[in-house]
Amino acid sequence: MVIPVFERLDYLGEAVASVAAQTLRPLELVVVADGDRVDPEPMLADCDLRTRIVSRAHGGPGAARNTGCAAAVGGVLAFLDADDVWLPEKLELQVDALRHDPCLDVVFAGVEQFFSPELGRVGTPKTSARLERATRAGLLPSAMVVRASSFARVGGFREGVIFGEFVDWFARAVELGMCSRTIDRMLVRRRVHDYNAGVQFRSSRGDYARVIKDLLERRREHSAGRVRLEIEEPP
């Protein structure tokens, strides 16, 4: 499994602890240091999992996850953002779903959002309608497990963007006919804090619009190609 980190390690210890507490423990934990601004090694000192730290030049979340996937072992890939946490049965239930249905490529889990304790806030965090829809469906990296072979078929996450890399990946998976399902249980907790990407990288929010534009253009080209094929095919 892969955890990318960039600049801040405030919550990495909790993320790693939630991985170590899984009822089905991963073969290994790969932490990708995206840039040289932080050293995650002290945060892993007490972890009893097999861990590896991989460092790379700063390239954003997609590039960091791709680096982690290239270093990972095993037949299933899982991801966790450094500020999120898993509930203990998350991996067991998802991997069990893959084992019982060989046609499944990807399994998601339910997600709930929570205010980080230092904010001193109660209630349910409010987010954009887009993120709210993704959260309800579990369509977030921290909520996904995927067969390594299926991930390789789709290709890595889009690089060079801060937002939208996961939307791009999942759209390509759907276009390839990948089979997915979502476990109807809340198994991931997404932390809301003062340094969420939406706050820290406001200037990069146009990335999402660019990803969607490219997705729509790809679909138009695919549709046009199919129409041409139908017209050109002999009777």
pLDDT tens digits, residue range 73-103?
999 999 999 999 999 999 999 999 999 999 9
b/e code 163-183 from CB counts within 10 Å (16+ = b): bbbbbbbbbbbeeeebebebb
Q: What is the pLDDT of residue 107?
A: 97
* 228 pLDDT higher than 50: no
| Mean residue pLDDT across the chain | 85
Most confident among 115-119, 124-128, 156-160 (mean pLDDT): 156-160
Per-residue pLDDT, averaged over 167-181, amounts to: 93
* 52 pLDDT higher than 90: yes
Confidence of residue 222 (pLDDT cuts 50, 70, 90): low
Q: What is the pLDDT of residue 138?
A: 73
Task: Tell me, rounded to whole angstroms, the distance of Cα 186 from its chain centroid.
Answer: 16
Q: What is the pLDDT of residue 235?
A: 39
- For helices 206-232 and 165-175, what crossing angle results, to 10°? 20
pTM of the model: 0.83
pLDDT tens digits, residue range 192-219?
887 765 444 444 456 657 667 777 776 6
DSSP codes, 139-182: -SGGGEEEEHHHHHHH-----S-SSSHHHHHHHHHHHTT--EEE
Residue owning tokens 């709210």: 132
Query: Would you tell me which CATH number, out of the four given (3.90.550.10, 3.30.360.10, 3.40.50.300, 3.90.700.10), belongs to the domain 2-232?
Result: 3.90.550.10
**Contact between residue 134 and residue 171 where contact means Cβ atoms under 8 Å apart:** no
**Contact between residue 77 and residue 85 where contact means Cβ atoms under 8 Å apart:** no
Of 11-25, 31-45, 71-85, 210-224, the poorest mean pLDDT is in 210-224
Who has greater pLDDT, 115 or 210? 115
Confidence of residue 130 (pLDDT cuts 50, 70, 90): low
Q: What is the pLDDT of residue 205?
A: 56
Who has greater pLDDT, 26 or 132? 26
